[in-house]
Structure 1
Amino acid sequence: MNTIKAPISDEPVTSFKRIAQHEIFSIGPDLNMVQQVRVITVDAKGQPLTERISADQTLTLEQRLAGLQRYADQIVTRQTAGAFVDATGLVVAEGTAGAVPQLAYFQAITLGDLKAKGLTVNDETSFASLLYALLQGEILNIDARSGL
């Protein structure tokens, strides 16, 4: 695996296809986590529009610059600090009945929970593959709540 990425919902206004690509995952000294995701607009074949624009020699410099600006990748940052979730992990407002800090929810995820989500977990499963699956899952969760 070279990177963590997944197709996500179409762009709401234009209905252009998009993919989300993992950028950064960090854990701070207070154990709160930050995840950055790159949102890339792609054509029907999955090629980033910025790559197509850069390679298109028929465009003038002004057209190329305008297209690159218009379809530039977007970086979205989400963090557990200050975030609350319900029993399913859905982000909710602080004070919602049954809400817990997102960090506590994440820290309580077990191997059994991962198996229940359909991940193959056995003595040969690497920690990295589990982490990557969790990161990709969170990208899809962020998209499902219209965060991308």
Structure 2
Amino acid sequence: MSGEPFLSRWSRRKLDAKAEPAPPPAEEAKRPEPVPEPPPPDLPPVESLGKDSDYSVFLKAGVPRELKQAALQKLWEADPALMAPEIMDLHMGDYTSPVGEVVKTAWRLGKGALDAAELAAEAEEKAKITPPDQDS
């Protein structure tokens, strides 16, 4: 172990690394560009695909992207189960609309949860304060 402090050694090594030119890339690191494969000739026409068709042939390597997208779009349209929203998805609700009705709870701030007797007394007190509706 050298007597040089850690941060001094670290700083010196960082500066040395910046000063040295990067080694040229090795010839073996260069890869030839892959030759695109011709699309498989046995693909069925997209118009003939249905719910029970085999779509895996469109997902193989060498299938043009546009053809693959068209087949997946056809699959999406063919099966209503794929198009329907998930029932249990919590993100499907419209949380921007106002609440239809007020949620009443037995919880009161500072008191906690009220029991049935306390709720009845609270309802009686509220009935005394609010005047009855006069429809005549």
TM-score normalised according to structure 1 size = 0.17
Task: Report which of the two has the higher share of strand.
Answer: 1
TM-score normalised according to structure 2 size = 0.18
Which has more radius of gyration? 2
Task: Report which of the two has the higher share of helix.
Answer: 2
